[in-house]
Amino acid sequence: MREHVTRCFKDWKYEMRRIRTKLAVVETTDELFYDDSFSKKLSQRTNHLRKQNILTDVVLLVDDQMFPAHRIILATSGDYFFSMFSGSLATNEKHIRIHGVSANTMESILSYIYCGSIEISEENVQDILEASALMLLESLKERCGKFLRDRIDEENCLRIFSLSKQFSLSTLQTKTFELITSHFSELCSHPDFQLLDASALIDILSCEEISVPNEDTIFNAALTWFNYDSHQRSDDFKNILKVIHLPFVSIELLKKCKESVSVDNSNIFSLLDSAIELILSRSFNDDCFPENIGGVFPEPWMSARKCEQFVTSIVALGGPTLNIYNFEVDHWTELGKCTPRHCPGLAVLGSSIYVVGGSSEWKRKSSGECFSIESCTWSTISDMNTPRSNFGLVELRGKLYAIGGYDGNLPLRKVEVYDIKTDTWTNIQDMNSPRDGACDVSDGECLYSIGGYDGSRYLTSTDFYDPETKLWNDEKIPQLQEKRQNAMCAYYDAKIYVIGGYYDDHFHKSVEVLDLDQMKWLSVAPLPKPRHYGGASAINGRLFVCGGWSVQFPVSTVDVYSIDEDIWSTISDLPTPTMVRCSTINLHRKLMLKVTSEQSVVNKRKNTIEMLQYKVSSSI
């Protein structure tokens, strides 16, 4: 009997272990079931209950309409209704009036709270934005901001900027601010400009990089805004004058303003008088005042606006001759001559211009040299690892990238980067395709090598380089519409412009634009004539296409494309018709004036000496 009991006990223990093991196996196969359709149906059913006034326990009063709802659902939507129905501020009222929202907007907001979806249109976006801000629905507010951000243009940017400030939409505010400050000269005459509040106007006029030809433009815009409602805006105008660089406004304009101001505000007159006194104490070419100048003045008054202190220009290398263009006088000035090079790379870092590679007497070069604008002298830099011509030299994040090209035998896929601090070249990952005569450009973040020739075919593909991953990708960018070698290219405002070029015996005057936001190619107005082997630069909404070849002949013309107007015009020709490499350069105004005036004198002396030498040799 005892043995039987012992055996039964052992059998029981064994069975229990078996059951526990089986349960453990079952536990490991548990799963979490999430039913999307159930959540959606639940939302739809609760919204149906609201609309049918079933189980509702509160009524929202908007205008003359009543909106039954459920406190618990409203309270879970955000802090606005949660505070209304709970805590120390809670109300037990059955009927609650909501101010600042229209009936149509309230219905849309309730549908969003119950179902999580809402229809946003150009007609209702402002109403929904205001309601979402009032009811602390942050996700909906941000969505309205994105809706507006995708539709910004010069016609609505001033209104949207005011909305972005009012509702603290920082991303929207940044984008509209950039558009306004870059097109200020045109937008300051828009009717919406006069409707800006003082805070928004001060933000805009305080921008040091605002795009204006001179401080007079800003002062006239502020005066127009003030005259729209001078009696109500006189106190604000005083604060606005403090952010304008008044001593750099023409003295005639300040005196005229003082005579025409219709309100009696001593503070305004005092500021204008102080600015006039400062102007009279300033030397003609000064762009700042000495630190020890007497009196206490607003800080912006002490120096010219940054956009006026610096000028953006074009440097162009045609043959061995390096030229710089002065926009103010529409004139090209020779800076100097480099070692003779055919199809070199050219790039700008600060006030230094780098010329690298190229060919001479059919031999590819790896050498490079640098021209200093400040000293007007040339110096050598270390050689590239690979001799090459017809390649792109592109600046990105303070370094120079030599991309592809031709080594005398084959197109190259090799890429190397130059470090200005160590004067060294370092090879990086090769491109996916060899590219001779590609369009190489940077958007400030990444590199693009577009089109070109790989040794057997003309390309429409683009190799894309991300310096963060250090990898090239030829699948990210869509194909060009046309095959192109030795086209010109430039980047401006999230778009890459590819201009002209050729393949086989077909010479292009067409222009393609890669919209980096939409990631697709678009066509714009074509060049007046086919062009290749030229240079291209983008400045202030215009593309400048310099020199190069038109079919079989070199040209010296400079064609200018207006991005906003989609039309072409011209500026002064280059001194010599030839193949060109060019780049933009940003210089202090004083340095620009110094270089162009001094080099003009040097060039005149050279021309005089050459003419005398010619006369002497002719007489002999």
| pLDDT score, position 307 | 67
Identify whether the C-beta of residue 180 lies closer than 8 Å to the C-beta of residue 218. Answer: no
How many Cβ atoms sit within 10 Å of the Cβ of residue 404? 27
CA–CA distance, 459 with 453 (Å, rounded to integer): 6
In this prediction, the residues of the chain whose per-residue pLDDT falls under 50 are 5, 25-26, 283-285, 290-295, 608-620
* Percent of the chain residues topping a pLDDT of 90: 62
Q: pLDDT tens digits, residue range 6-43?
A: 565 566 566 666 666 555 544 556 788 878 788 888 88
Distance of CA 34 to the CA centre of its chain: 43
| pLDDT score, position 356 | 98
| pLDDT score, position 149 | 92
Rounded to the nearest 5 percent, the helix, strand and coil shares of the chain are: 35, 25, 35
| pLDDT score, position 7 | 61
pTM of this structure = 0.59
| pLDDT score, position 98 | 92
Q: pLDDT tens digits, residue range 343-361?
A: 999 999 988 999 999 999 8
Partner residues linked to 374 by β-bridges: none
| pLDDT score, position 620 | 45
Q: Got the DSSP string for 87-148?
A: STT----SEEE--S--HHHHHHHHHHHHHS-----TTTHHHHHHHHHHTT-HHHHHHHHHHH
Sole residue written with tokens 């263009």: 325
